[in-house]
Each structure stands twice: as structure tokens, then as C-alpha cells.
């Protein structure tokens, strides 16, 4: 079964609004990574957060990690049409032989 499960599966918001996506996982992890995929393209790494970190920022992106709840969230502030994409979380742990285990993704649509 998948380690990371994103929620919601799809999200549609107006340009300028904030978008929040969540990722839940089942086992303890070494790190959790967020990636973006534009339609039909390869994935682009956004942020890596380690198990001893609680929050990381990169530009308009903010990622939080709550290891007690086994969950992470990705916040995109002041969304733009170019943020339209699918967003995936991937977890790494010894249980997965340190390979990335991927969720099914959240499809984000930003309406102009």
C-alpha cells in the first residue's frame, strides 16, 4: 500500500488564494519530500523536510511536518495560474530500504 496519501485528491481555487495540501503516512520516516508535476512532464523537487524539522519555507511554499500525527502539509501562498499542477509527497524510511514511496498526488487547478 502507498506510504503517502495526499488530501484532497483535487483542489480548485481562484488565483491569489492560498492552497493547502496534506499528506499522511503510516510508518516513521527519515524525510518527506514534495514534488510538482506539470501535465505530461517530469517531476520537479520542491522541498525536503527531515524528521527532526517542523517547518521549512521556499519562496511562496511552506511545508510543515508533524511526526506525532504522521502528516505533512504544503501551503502555496498567493497562488498563480502557473501553480496549476499535480503535487506529490514522497516519504523515505528504513522500511522502504531508503527509497521514495509516493502518494497518488493532489491535482491543483488555479482559476484566473
Partner 1 sequence: SQTIHQWPATLVQPVGSPLSLECTVEGTSNPNLYWYRQAAGRGLQLLFYSVGIGQISSEVPQNLSASRPQDRQFILSSKKLLLSDSGFYLCAWSVIIQETQYFGPGTRLLVL
Shortest Å distance, C-beta 80 to partner 1: 22
Shortest Å distance, C-beta 27 to partner 1: 14
**Number of C-alpha atoms within 13 angstroms, CB side, residue 27?**
16
Q: Is the CB of 36 or the CB of 70 nearer to partner 1?
A: 36
* By the rule CB under 8 A, 92 interacts with partner 1: yes
- Cα 107 to the center of its chain, rounded Å: 11
Residue selected from 63, 87, 88, 108 as contacting partner 1 according to rule CB under 8 A: 88
* By the rule CB under 8 A, 22 interacts with partner 1: no
Candidate segments 19-27, 42-50, 53-61, 69-77, binder of partner 1 by CB under 8 A: 42-50
Closest CA to 56 of 39, 38, 74, 42: 74
Amino acid at each position: 500500500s502507498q506510504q503517502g496519501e495526499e488530501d484532497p485528491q483535487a483542489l480548485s481555487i481562484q488565483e491569489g488564494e492560498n492552497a493547502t495540501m496534506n499528506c499522511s503516512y503510516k510508518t516513521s520516516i527519515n524525510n518527506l519530500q514534495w514534488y510538482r508535476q506539470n501535465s505530461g512532464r517530469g517531476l520537479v523537487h520542491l522541498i525536503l523536510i527531515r524528521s527532526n524539522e517542523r517547518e521549512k519555507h521556499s519562496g511562496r511554499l511552506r511545508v510543515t511536518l508533524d511526526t506525532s500525527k504522521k502528516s505533512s502539509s504544503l501551503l502555496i501562498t498567493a497562488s498563480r495560474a502557473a501553480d496549476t499542477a499535480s503535487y506529490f509527497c514522497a516519504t523515505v524510511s528504513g522500511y522502504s530500504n531508503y527509497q521514495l514511496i509516493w502518494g497518488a498526488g493532489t491535482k491543483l487547478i488555479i482559476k484566473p
